[in-house]
Every structure is written in structure tokens, then in C-alpha cells.
Structure 1
Amino acid sequence: MAEINSSVEGIRTALAEALGRLRKANAEYFEMLEKGLAASPLPIANQAKEFSSFMQRNVTATFDLGDKLIQAKDMQDALKLQADFFQDQMRALTDQARTVGESAMKAAGGLFTPKS
């Protein structure tokens, strides 16, 4: 039994290390993306930055779920974690869609205002 527990802990450790490397690569990717968007002369750069921020939050939430799943005690615990994650992501998606919609409406409103 001790052999099984030590192999489970070894797997958890390996998964946690791999997830840490993925987090680091992800952070570097978004840092590079933000630098590129900051230097962009395109008029939609601000909307792209906002979208990038949403993506970053969603990916971070997914990594956080991975951390929690690695530590799950059993299948029931894992399923609860996934259900909670799904609900949180649906709320975040709703908020993000509202924000993007408001931003699009503002941008579209600017197109139709008379220029004097």
C-alpha cells in the first residue's frame, strides 16, 4: 500500500511540475502579446488588449482547476471541482460577453455621430 501511495504522490508531483512549466510559458506568451498590442498602431488595439485580458483570466482559471484536480482526493471531489469551475466560467463568459457588447456598441456609436 505504501508503494501505491508513493507512486500517486510521484505522479502528483510530476503533474504539478508540468503545470508550473505550462504556467510559466503561458505568462511569457501573454507578456509578449501585450507588448505587441501596446506597440500596435491599429485602432482596435484597445479592444484586442481587453480580449487578451479575458483570455488570460480564462487560461489562469483553467490552470487553477488543474492545480485543484491534482490534489483531489477522489472522483467525487474531482467532479465537484469541475462543476464549480464550469459554473464560474459560465458567469465569467456572461460578464465578458456583456463587456465586449458594450465596447462594440460604443465603437459603433462613434461611427454614426455627425462630424462638425
Structure 2
Amino acid sequence: MAEINPSAEAIRTMLGETLGRLRKANAEYFDLLEKGLGSSPLPISGQAKEICARMQHNVAATFDLGEKLIQAQDVQDALKIQSEFFQDQMRALTDQAKTMGESAMKAASAMFGTKI
């Protein structure tokens, strides 16, 4: 019979196993997506692959957050983990926006034949 009042450690174990299955499903999804992008005849497949790689990085960071939150000992610890995650994501977003802006400028200059 299932335990009615599971311990915190049992819940952590169950959440960790679930997170592992989600990570595996996510990896399979991105593998299929990359194969699809790789076979695309569109000239933007390179940019699409770059966006896909950034999505993978962001999803992996979210899974890492989940693992850290599972191990949090109290609310204060969870808030600290969440705050660090938010700061890291803001830095990553800034970097991604900068890189994507540079890529867009290069693509535009190539399209119009000007050097920027």
C-alpha cells in the first residue's frame, strides 16, 4: 500500500526521478528538432540551429534550477536559489540579445551588400 504521509526525502527522490525523465524526454525532443533543422533546405537553418541551441541551454538551466530547489532545506534557501537563477538568466538574456542582434546585423549587411 502506498505511503500516505511520505517523508521529505521520499518526495525529493520522487521529484528527482521525475526530473530525470523530463530531461530525457527534452533531450529526445531537441535531437529530433536538430535533425529536422539539419535537413531543412531553408537558408536560415543556421540561425534556427543557433536559436535551438540557446533554447536547449535555457531549458537545461531551468532543469538545474529544479534540481537545486528539490534539495533546498527551507524557504530561505529556496529563495536564494531562485534569486541566483533569476540573476543568471538576466545575464544570459542580455548576452543572447547582444549575440542575436549582431547576427541580425551581419545578415542584413550581407543581404544589402554593405559592411557594418
**Structure-2-length-normalised TM-score:** 0.91
Q: In the alignment, what sits opposite 2:13?
A: 13
Alignment of 1:51 with 2:51, yes or no, is yes
Q: In the alignment, what sits opposite 1:39?
A: 39
Alignment of 1:23-34 (within 5 A): 23-34=23-34
Partner SS state of residue 41, structure 1: coil
Partner SS state of residue 7, structure 2: helix
Q: In the alignment, what sits opposite 1:75?
A: 75
Q: Which has the higher contact order (CA 8 A, sep 6+)?
A: 1
* Unmatched segments (≥5 aa) in structure 1: 1-5
**Amino acid aligned to 1:104:** A
Distance in 2 between residues matched to 1:113 and 1:61, nearest whole Å = 38
* Unmatched segments (≥5 aa) in structure 2: 1-5
Using the aligned pairs only, state the percent identity: 72
Q: In the alignment, what sits opposite 2:103?
A: 103
**Amino acid aligned to 2:61:** A
User: Please, what is the CA RMSD of the aligned residues?
Assistant: 1.3
Whichever structure has more helix as a proportion of its residues is 1
Count of residues in correspondence between the two structures: 110
**Amino acid aligned to 2:62:** T
How far apart are residue 69 of structure 1 and its match?
Answer: 0.3
Distance in 1 between residues matched to 2:34 and 2:7, nearest whole Å = 40
